[in-house]
Chains A and B, each alone.
Chain A
């Protein structure tokens, strides 16, 4: 074992993955490590990786739950491609994650969970701890379960309860390894269990300390890795947020800024459910969370609430958006505000519910009958889910239109530091509500600038009117089958969406502002794209990144940017939906593609490979 002995090292960034059975408490271990690191001032990004089955058979690969965290002093934009340290609490966790660890790096295993039965369940033919499977790695073999029991034997707990603290024992080991203090987690355990279950708190704290002590005693553990690198985040107060919570908070902020109560009509679906759950907690901020009987009732109730004057939001994921299609068309026709949040997951059909993908773009843009334009925007990090749900609400309310906000499972469940936004830093939102006493008001006449119709709320005397899904006369709003009216209304609805571009900031390019290669991405892939491009710029390549948050309409300077590069490549987690959209919008350019559909995010390594290849092609 002494060959593994490592002395103090300095690294700029490190990726750690905690993996175990779903019952092993890996999410908690991961979030505790993250929280402690954040308090030390590290930049970070995390990604939890849950099994699709709630209770997959114990000890099998299907039941492996993982939590990956990338920490560093600078510029962390992704949870990291490959792990520097893998914690595998059982044989299945090793099996599932071995290909995600960098060679020559560290694996910590609980040897107590590598018995014959464990190996069988995990599908190992022979014991990887004994054959040559792990030759390329530094393996730290620790009997974690038995040591945890040993440490807790005086507390009078049963064996099962004692074993449950093994995640804290492991966390203690990793804390030592990265010179992290235990205080934050001890406080957490005391707050969580202290009053009601003091014995549980005590056991966990004891296990945590025992793990740390164990790590400091054995020489096998690479001692005290220090994370260096200068802090790249802007000055300010930060907290760690998950994308879905940030989305919910952006909506609450928009509600306060617009004076419109939130109405969120929704139906649970992975990975979007947490937005509904978060809004449901904040009723006293005027937020009504309505869990409907299905997605259709979710959006339909929201449209009803929009008619009545709420900030109307419905949240869902792929299959749910499919169900909402018809009602979304109704919102287009009635020209009411509506925010539809689609947290994308792998498709088609129920697809890969817990995995990420970007393949609902065409559905968002076109998944309805008729000419049915809506605004489409996309968030690109867990933290900017706040900004873009605020922005989606602002556009919906001020331009009287449905807006589809695309996030994805990777953003929704992932977390990152968020510079806490103060309410007075946010712009006001001014919906075009018609005042009581307005004379000669017509439901479908438009303001000249935005081309939006105005919003008369039921309950206002004198403004009684009828709207609905049948084509409307361009002024009175009465049903009209006049052929020319349908054409002009179709064009007006399209023009209204185009007009939004007048209110958007310009698209910014990262890296080379002109040159050999423009890399294009959109939405949740920003972190890996940015990391790849920055690294390549550092290597002297002539490469720039245009990452899109606004999809329909596109920002006004897009065409001009596209013209500045010799080659363009669009990278996305689908088979080329945004590339095709750009081909339609700007057919004068040639677009290469890099596409991945594995339910996994991009790695920076594969992106760099792909971009280098394109740079080297003639």
Chain B
């Protein structure tokens, strides 16, 4: 047992590289929440690895004083998968943007999620391509005008949470740049979770998509944000006067005290249910349906990880294989001598 445990501070995780995001970019808040969360995890500094694709957000690893790998567009999650499988002791974090993860990396994203390697994904969702200067992304809302959609965007957007639920992802949470404390708590929970955890971080691109999340992230819009907690009723609003109920197959917003609604009528959040039905409703809430946007850990359902299953197979082959070493393997089957 190790007795002397190093106590890290956020400074231990800040590299000497100048952070070069635009002043006011939401990514700063996420960086600092991560740097504050890491010391509270039970992981040695040298065991953290941050791996990214390409995009503004993907510069993240350079700003961390940990092991880091800035990859190629869309493929960060595949790189991270290899790193984790090669050394399961590492705490591997994958940083990605909405374009990086949902467009060019879409295929890797869904497969990583279904595979359930113990990775922590932070998906920076600013609903725009930042680094290439303002083209629409797969999460950009219908009708929005961008540099490549001057008359308005005509493709239906992806909702990252819906993709995670659809791929039977085991952990999905949503956080926002405007609430760093909550972000930090959720990152800690993501790290504790064994399996692929996806945290969607709503972040503001001040340059190309300013205020796009404002309705759900500004303090004075509390009626539009719901912070979930496992085992607690789904209440929201400045004075927690609103709640969510199931009405048939739909979620509805109700007010406590109105129409005989009491606290007992309000849905209690259970992040651990295997079925994804309610999770699907929660990740979709808030998009023009009068419901609040939902934050926090929406789903957290433990299952064996890919690497645990892989290890079980290795152990099994070790016990059952005919070959104790390579010489035996090479000499197996039919052989003949030439004298």
Contacts and interface: CB of A to CB of B under 8 A. Distances in A.
A468 B86 contact: no
A614 interface: no
Interface in B27-76: 44-47, 49, 51, 54, 61-62, 64-72, 75
Nearest to B74: A296
Nearest to A460: B46
Contacts of A312: 82
Interface string B301-313: 0000000001001
Interface string B157-197: 00000000000000000000000000000000000000000
Given A304-B51, A330-B72, A459-B47, A249 B329 contact: yes
B86 A261 contact: yes
B38 to A, nearest CB: 12
Contacts of A282: 317, 321, 323, 329
A39 B326 CA distance: 23
A420 B333 CA distance: 12
B45 A461 contact: yes
Contacts of A479: 17, 62
Contacts of B51: 304
Contact of B85 (A288, A463, A466, A470): A288
A303 B72 CA distance: 11
A307 B69 contact: yes
Nearest to B325: A423
B258 interface: no
A300 B67 contact: no
A35 B87 CA distance: 41
A469 B71 contact: yes
Interface string B132-163: 00000000000000000000000000000000
A301 B65 contact: no
Contacts of B310: 283, 288
B81 A236 contact: no
Contact of B46 (A306, A462, A468): A462
B70 A467 contact: yes
A585 interface: no
Interface in B78-97: 78-87, 89-90
A229 to B, nearest CB: 14
B249 interface: no
A236 to B, nearest CB: 6
Given A327-B75, A464-B46, A466-B70, A458 B90 contact: yes
Nearest to B337: A237
A457 B46 CA distance: 9
B90 A468 contact: no
A478 B20 CA distance: 14
A366 interface: no
Contacts of B15: 466
A301 B330 CA distance: 28
A292 interface: yes
B68 A463 contact: no
Nearest to B307: A288
B326 A308 contact: no
B85 A327 contact: no
B42 to A, nearest CB: 15
B318 interface: yes
A87 B53 CA distance: 56
Candidate in A235, A239, A326, A462 with the most chain B CB atoms within 10 angstroms: A239
Contacts of A459: 46-47, 87, 89-90
A35 to B, nearest CB: 6
Interface in A271-309: 282-285, 288, 290, 292-294, 296-297, 300-309
Contact of A283 (B61, B68, B317, B336): B317
Given A464-B46, A464-B67, A284 B90 contact: no
A465 B68 contact: yes
B66 A308 contact: no
A334 B310 CA distance: 28
A339 B45 CA distance: 30
A326 B82 contact: no
A47 B301 CA distance: 51
B78 A297 contact: yes
Contacts of A238: 335-338
17 contacts: A235-B338, A237-B331, A238-B336, A253-B326, A256-B326, A261-B86, A288-B85, A292-B81, A300-B71, A301-B79, A304-B78, A305-B83, A305-B85, A305-B86, A458-B90, A459-B89, A466-B67
Interface of A: 35, 38-39, 41, 184, 231, 233-240, 249, 252-253, 256, 261, 263, 265, 282-285, 288, 290, 292-294, 296-297, 300-310, 312, 326-327, 330, 334, 420-423, 457-470, 478-479
Given A284-B317, A307-B69, A308-B83, 6 more contacts: A239-B334, A288-B85, A304-B69, A304-B80, A307-B83, A310-B86
Interface of B: 15, 17, 44-47, 49, 51, 54, 61-62, 64-72, 75, 78-87, 89-90, 107-108, 111, 310, 313-314, 317-318, 321, 323, 325-327, 329-331, 333-339
6 shortest interchain CB distances as A-B pairs: A468-B70, A304-B82, A301-B82, A300-B78, A466-B68, A304-B79
